[in-house]
Structure 1
Amino acid sequence: MNANSKPSAASASMRRPAQPIKLYRSAISGHSHRVELFLSLLGLPFELVDVALAAGAHKQPDFLAMNPFGQVPVIQDGDVTLADSNAILVYLTGRYAADAEQWLPGDALAAANVQRWLSVAAGQLAFGPATARVIQLFKLPASPADAIARAHALFKVMEQQLGQSAFLTGSTVTLADIANYSYVAHAPEGNVSLDGYPALRAWLARMEALPRFVPMAKTPVGLAA
């Protein structure tokens, strides 16, 4: 196929699952939401399967067979069962994204820049705004002070970056943005204010303007109450 030809119907269908992808999730989990958001942005058919975390469904043998760590999200795509939200984003990109280079570039430096923010999502984001939100959401006895401080330290870095580019790694949205959006958007639920971060709030608005964007369920706690 030359550079000017369009993909055939057959090649396009190869990037569609034979049946809807099952997403085992919790509606209030940002890790689950980043997968749901990406599935929607890619226009893929999927089925949401809510896991009753409060009832301990994620610790039952049938769920542990899918993810021994007992965590959501998990996807089932035909004979593929995969856990870990960031791993799922990478899988969906390689398997189904017609514009995979946009989401996860092949260029070494560009790919490293995206991976850096995937690491942030698993590190500073998870132990900052996500942890502060969990403490508030479930009324845990732990003090949220350290998590809130980590959140603001992260947001200062993101504010600086987003003052220079529309998205976290440049002018176009990538997996870096998908992985970090949900917990940033819902940081006020953990008593982390976004008022002092205009570039960060503008980025959230750009994310929410993407075609087929789907929001995460809001919980009226913290500053969002």
Structure 2
Amino acid sequence: MTAVSKSPRIIVALDYASAAPALDLISGLDPKTCRLKVGKEMFTRLGPTFVEKLVGQGFDVFLDLKFHDIPNTVAAACAAAADLGVWMVNVHASGGRKMMVTARERLETLSHRPLLIAVTVLTSLGEKDIAEVGFLGAPADNVIRLARLTHESGLDGVVCSPLEAAEVRPLVGKDFLLVTPGVRPASAAQDDQKRVMTPLDALNNGADLLVIGRPITAADDPQLSLNRIQQEIAGFPGG
């Protein structure tokens, strides 16, 4: 696992359909106070050049494409992400040990080695949802199982709900990153997330990095919203 600074802890999810509003948002942000996430929609619409532009402006970029394929294909995709200069990239833990190990080993050969984390169970899925796709037990049972597998595979961390972070943390130690979406300030709507928690509660529960989208990006004043969240977590060590 690669050593990583856990500050800044907030990763702003740039869930836009075009470049203009994203660039307008980040024009007022300081790379020292937040990181950025680019997901499937933005990457599909805007491509690698947009990611390189964000990196060029000094931001740590989490490329959230959740690779899930045969081991060599995933390893090659992760290496391509590294070529863009991204700070972190992810895969689906359900792709299995061999896939994760192959991706990690490929990244370890590169001069620029982004962090590699794995998605456990999507935060939009409840118990009925995971049962329909063949997973037995509650979401937390599957998160714990997949987090263990990811840790054993030598990756840097996992994406998990903040509700499960407290159960995962003792199993993986303090240096294994827990990246949590489903984080909402108390005043914000839950939107399509089912397993949610406030930013400070998520950190107290064991989370390291907080992915926050619409409470910041859809706010009337995104910078003010980000500042309020930063103030909320300021008392947490390293917040």
Normalised by the size of structure 1, how large is the TM-score? Answer: 0.30
Larger radius of gyration: 1
Normalised by the size of structure 2, how large is the TM-score? Answer: 0.29
Q: Which has the higher contact order (CA 8 A, sep 6+)?
A: 1
User: Which structure carries more strand by proportion?
Assistant: 2
User: Which structure carries more helix by proportion?
Assistant: 1
